[in-house]
Amino acid sequence: MALLVPTSLLAVDNKDQQSLPFLAGPYLGQVPPGLTPKKFAPGYVSTRHRDFSGSFTPDLTEFYFSRKDVDTEKWWLIRFTLENNRWQESVVGPRIGRPILSPDGNTLHLGNKYRERTADGWSEVKSLGPMFDREDWGIMRLSASALGSYIFDDYKNNDVLRISQVQNGQRQPPGLLAEHINAGKWTAHPFIAPDESYIIWDSEKEDGYGDTDLYISFRQPNGEWGSAKNLGNQINTDGTEASAYVSPDGKYLFFNRRPRPNKDGKGPEGDIYWVDAKIIEALRPRQ
């Protein structure tokens, strides 16, 4: 299916980018971060709009994220593609759910919907079926592991996370994650590692630094999920941190950050940040 590009949206962004050079090289040509998070691709990905929920294909030649146009208040699914060593921006279409690619890059998950990769792009939007496409559930983001497990949020039922695994080739009905994972407010936007060794999500908890923070839980040898660990003040601020994602090569943690609004309720819309994923390994329990 060919990509349809709303020219009005691209005109806004291209005008902003006219003075910027073409992007080339890995990770949109950006200098890799250290242990201090920094905005990802300022002026291209991180813009005056609200930019959210980014993910790469396994070969790192495509980057997808959602963007809320601050002028029209409409959400779009944006794609950057590396072509002839230059990154090209296009619009896939209106946003559905919070986009995140499967580990093999062949499925673009969109909440309780998805697209499959085809020979000429992506399929039409499809439903995950009655097990997930329920009116009484509110799925914003669904993340898949390489083993087929789905972890997803549900804003219609007290902001909880659920998991559905594959056993003997059969998709199992989703069940709630443990109470210590679902404790807190605004629990949402989970990410599961391809090997299922950890999950990261955002939530507002008593031990947090402000609004929603990023938390991580590592899978224990017995298969249970370990304690919910705050990613710490290197990552979390008194604003909002959300929508974590680790690059396919395991090198970088991406997430969204939106500073706390001022007294008038105004402030930046929020950007995609990235940081060295060593910060995850520093929290991993020692066996």
- The answer, yes or no, to whether residue 176 has pLDDT greater than 60, is yes
- Mean pLDDT value across the chain: 92
What confidence tens digit (pLDDT) does each residue in 251-262 have?
A: 999 999 998 876
- The answer, yes or no, to whether residue 2 has pLDDT greater than 50, is no
Residue 105 DSSP label = S
The confidence score (pLDDT) of residue 79 equals 97
> Under a CB-based contact definition with an 8 Å cutoff, are residues 165 and 148 in contact?
yes
pTM over 0.85: yes
pLDDT class for 18, splitting at 50, 70, 90? low
> Under a CB-based contact definition with an 8 Å cutoff, are residues 280 and 247 in contact?
no
A 10 A CB-CB count for 219 gives 16
What confidence tens digit (pLDDT) does each residue in 33-48 have?
A: 999 999 999 999 999 9
Interval 94-118 mean pLDDT: 96
The confidence score (pLDDT) of residue 4 equals 46
The confidence score (pLDDT) of residue 11 equals 39
User: How many whole angstroms separate alpha carbon 220 and alpha carbon 70?
Assistant: 43
The confidence score (pLDDT) of residue 10 equals 46
The confidence score (pLDDT) of residue 286 equals 82
Four-way CATH pick for 7-281: 1.10.10, 2.120.10, 1.10.3470, 2.60.40:
2.120.10
What confidence tens digit (pLDDT) does each residue in 122-145 have?
A: 999 999 999 999 999 999 999 999
Query: How far out from the chain centre does Cα 178 lie?
Result: 22
pLDDT class for 210, splitting at 50, 70, 90? confident
User: How many whole angstroms separate alpha carbon 88 and alpha carbon 161?
Assistant: 35
The confidence score (pLDDT) of residue 48 equals 93
Helix (H) / strand (E) containing 190: strand 185-192
The confidence score (pLDDT) of residue 287 equals 67
Report the side by side order of strands in the sheet with 38-39.
Answer: 38-39, 271-276, 252-258, 240-246
Domain ranges of the chain: 7-281
- The residues with which 57 forms a beta bridge, in sequence order, are none
What confidence tens digit (pLDDT) does each residue in 223-248 have?
A: 999 999 999 999 999 999 999 999 99
